[in-house]
Amino acid sequence: MDRRQLLQGAATGVAAAMWLPGCANLGSPPEADLILRGGRVHTLDARNRVVSSIAVREGKVLAVGSDAETAVFQGPRTKVVELAQHVVVPGLNDSHMHLINGGLQYNLEVRWDDVESLADALRMLREQAQRTPPGQWVRVLGGWSEFQFAEKRMPTIEELNAVSRDVPVMVLHFYDTALLNKAAVRALGYTKDTPQPAGGEIVRDALGNPTGVILAKPSMFSVYSAMRRAPQLDPGARVNSMRQFMRELNRVGITSVGDGGADNNLADYALMSGLARDKHMTVRVACSMFSFSPGKEYEDFASWISQVKLTDDPIYKIRGAGEILTFSAFDSANFLLPRPDLRPTAEADFEKVIRLFVEHGWPFQFHASYDESITPLLGVLERVQHSAPLDRVRWFVDHAETISPRNIDRVRALGGGIAVQNRMSFQGESFLRRYGPKVADRAPPVGEMLRAGVPVGLGTDATRIASYNPWISLQWFVTGRTAGGMPLVGAANRLDRQQALRLYTVGSAWFSGDEAVKGSLEPGKFADLAVLSADYFSVPEDQIRKIESVLTLMNGQVVHAKGPYRSIAPPALPVDPAWSPAAVAKNEEEGRYLGKSMRGSHSCGHTHASGDTCGGHTHSHNWIQGDAGLWSLSCSCMVV
């Protein structure tokens, strides 16, 4: 955020305040593009004000207040939306997910994020196998846990073989296991003669034949490579897939994301730049770059620094380096296996790239799950600090599930932040078995981070390690219970609902350097918001994960609308390819509101605009089931 943007935001806020009732007004008030009124708008400003209305102009918040206070900005061209007491929150900001990697695969994936039984999950695979054309695969690429299922187990190879004999089926479990049916094993060319992948295992039967199970031991790339060898989308469908995924994020209220790194770096970022140029971005994205060249990371980063200009573009920008800075200093998060040690060259390799970033003013983030990894890496930063002050750049640690109080204090002293995710909501049972309740009780120690004064942002690490759904994440941080319902994190490191929401909005904005322009709903800040399907602050804790948005604005534009706001939804975007699981998911989602149309014969006796009533005439209405209950399309009794 540069000084010019900061002053512009402040000026906009002052200008809006001049026109509120009770102020000495000069001239005519500016006309709002959009006013939302009659709701419960949680601004998350410094006073945590809750107001009934918000006015928007040119992509920014013009004013917040009562319906009367925003009415002064209503003009002949202003669109007015009635909120009908819906709760409104700032647009959610996932401080660490992999939007680019997830988006480029989204149209290919069957998603199990909110599926509650393995039987239903397998049914989804069977149905998709029937739709999938020859040469294509059925795949589930993470974002689920066996403990979310009523059966509390993973699918077996036999069950995947029963899905289809001819269509390859792959199910990825985090980055620790890939399950393949026989057709997928054949398609990948795995035989008894196939060598074992580096850092992984192709599990074999007594005769030496591949069973269809691939294990990370501990390298995630052994299972990741199998995923990447499956058929990919053509260029046009890749763009469509990314747009569909951003729209899906809008559906759950997300308007901003910090991307922790993409596979193909410059090529993938060129695709994103094209979307931004063509004004197809519906999520603000701040990307980091990491190397996929073990041992050559410094050379990669030096090359990118010479080619890539860091900007403050509010929609799409490269923010710096991460999350993998060097492979020697990378600890995997496979909680089924013992904690991996950093390699002997980790500190020297890490210091070399850190000095490069500080010298060139490149912000950075680094993956570190375990305190045993964080300790030496912070030691490197402390050495660098003596000759190259870290306050030249913004930096933070990703994950930090077992960070110690001492290392939290070291992060604060060095001016860093910590981006934490709900990975334990999906992997908590495995973590507890390996490390015990004392360690699990504070994994991650979010409360301790906040009490120490460290900047904290919440997120998911989606889409392989966890679901992209922020409400699943928020439920985890509030309850400390896993997807399987097991209590894990103690009260000292759980958050109340407002704390959690603040860290998912205001808190996350710090990590992209945008805390002055987004995160709260205040005059001069970006008009990014979500109108919720249910009251986040009062629904039962176990229902938080079921919340979604019925109306999402990004940059003051409607990017998602459903139910009572469907008439102002953006134009439909057909899914490419048409057989995509995403197309089926979209149809089912729309069906929740339009497909469940009902007709009822009754005598409603309501009064029409003319003053006439239906009286005792028995007639029919068309109804739609929405999140707020039943609402009527029209009356067919012909009284108008």
Residues contacting residue 572 through CB under 8 Å, at least 6 positions apart? none
Backbone angles phi, psi at 535, to 5 degrees: -80, 105
Q: Mean pLDDT throughout 513-532?
A: 98
Radius of gyration of the chain (CA): 26
- Taking the C-alpha atoms of residue 232 and residue 139, their distance in angstroms, rounded to an integer, is 11
Domain count within the chain: 2
Question: Helix axis angle, 235-251 relative to 266-277, nearest 10°?
Answer: 70
Residue 612 lies in a domain: yes
Residue 332 lies in a domain: no
Residue 461's nearest CA partner among 471, 470, 452, 448 is: 470
* Residue 39: pLDDT over 70: yes
Question: Helix axis angle, 118-131 relative to 581-590, nearest 10°?
Answer: 120
In tens, the pLDDT along 561-587 reads 999 999 999 999 999 999 999 998 776
Q: Is residue 322 within 8 Å of residue 260, measured between CB atoms?
A: yes
User: pTM for the complete prediction?
Assistant: 0.89
Is 135 in a helix, a strand, or coil?
A: coil
- Taking the C-alpha atoms of residue 29 and residue 21, their distance in angstroms, rounded to an integer, is 11
* Residue 265: pLDDT over 80: no
pLDDT band, very low/low/confident/very high, at 2 (cuts 50, 70, 90): very low
Distances (CA, A) of 312 to 448, 487, 513, 581: 32, 41, 9, 36
* Residue 599: pLDDT over 50: no
In tens, the pLDDT along 85-128 reads 999 999 999 999 999 999 999 999 999 999 999 999 999 999 99
In tens, the pLDDT along 393-412 reads 999 999 999 999 999 999 99
> b/e map of 88-98 (b: 16 or more CB within 10 Å)?
bbbbbbbbbbb
Q: Using CB atoms within 10 Å of the CB of residue 45, give its burial: 0 to 12 exposed, 13 to 18 middle, 19+ buried.
A: middle
Residue 151 lies in a domain: yes
Give residue 220's pLDDT: 77
Task: Give the end of a domain, one of 211, 229, 247.
Answer: 229
Is 395 in a helix, a strand, or coil?
A: strand
The tokens for 180 are: 């393949």
The tokens for 105 are: 């695969």
Residue 301 lies in a domain: no
Average pLDDT, the chain: 89
Q: Mean pLDDT throughout 28-46?
A: 97
Residues contacting residue 252 through CB under 8 Å, at least 6 positions apart? 92, 468, 469, 470, 471, 548, 549
Residues contacting residue 286 through CB under 8 Å, at least 6 positions apart? 256, 257, 258, 259, 317, 318, 319, 511, 512, 513, 514
In tens, the pLDDT along 234-245 reads 999 999 999 999
**What is the domain extent for residue 145?**
136-229
Q: Mean pLDDT throughout 138-167?
A: 97
Catalogue the long-range contacts made by 383-391 (C-beta closer than 8 Å, 24 or more residues apart). Answer: 383/351, 384/351, 384/354, 384/355, 384/358, 385/414, 388/355, 388/358, 388/359, 389/358, 390/358, 390/414, 390/415, 390/416, 391/415
> b/e map of 447-458 (b: 16 or more CB within 10 Å)?
bbbbebebbbbb
> b/e map of 381-418 (b: 16 or more CB within 10 Å)?
beebbeeeebeebbbbbbbbbbbbeebbebbbebbbbb
HEC secondary structure over 307-342: HCCCCCCCCEEEEEECCCCCHHHCCCCCCCCCCCCC
Catalogue the long-range contacts made by 68-71 (C-beta closer than 8 Å, 24 or more residues apart). Answer: 68/21, 69/20, 69/21, 70/32, 70/35, 70/37, 71/35, 71/37
Residue 376 lies in a domain: no
Backbone angles phi, psi at 473, to 5 degrees: -65, -45
Task: Give the end of a domain, one of 207, 229, 251.
Answer: 229
If residue 140 lies in a helix (H) or strand (E), which one and from where to where? strand 138-141
**pLDDT over 90 percentage in the chain:** 79
Is 180 in a helix, a strand, or coil?
A: strand
Residue-wise DSSP of 8-58: HHHHHHHHHHTTSTTS---SPPPPPSEEEESSEEE--STT--EESEEEEET
Give residue 632's pLDDT: 32
If residue 476 lies in a helix (H) or strand (E), which one and from where to where? helix 470-479
The tokens for 219 are: 């390298």
Q: What DSSP state is assigned to residue 564?
A: G
Task: Give the end of a domain, one of 188, 213, 229.
Answer: 229
Give residue 79's pLDDT: 98
The tokens for 454 are: 């460290």
- Taking the C-alpha atoms of residue 514 and residue 316, their distance in angstroms, rounded to an integer, is 12
**CATH (domain of 166):** 3.10.310
- Taking the C-alpha atoms of residue 444 and residue 408, their distance in angstroms, rounded to an integer, is 11
Give residue 594's pLDDT: 35
Residue 485 lies in a domain: no
pLDDT band, very low/low/confident/very high, at 18 (cuts 50, 70, 90): low
The tokens for 300 are: 């990669």
The residue with tokens 């759904």 is 469
- Taking the C-alpha atoms of residue 563 and residue 574, their distance in angstroms, rounded to an integer, is 19
Q: Is residue 518 within 8 Å of residue 256, measured between CB atoms?
A: yes
Residue 159 lies in a domain: yes
- Taking the C-alpha atoms of residue 73 and residue 83, their distance in angstroms, rounded to an integer, is 17
Residue 587 lies in a domain: no
- Taking the C-alpha atoms of residue 398 and residue 373, their distance in angstroms, rounded to an integer, is 12
* Residue 500: pLDDT over 90: yes
The tokens for 136 are: 């294509």
Backbone angles phi, psi at 119, to 5 degrees: -60, -45
pLDDT band, very low/low/confident/very high, at 27 (cuts 50, 70, 90): confident
* Residue 619: pLDDT over 90: no
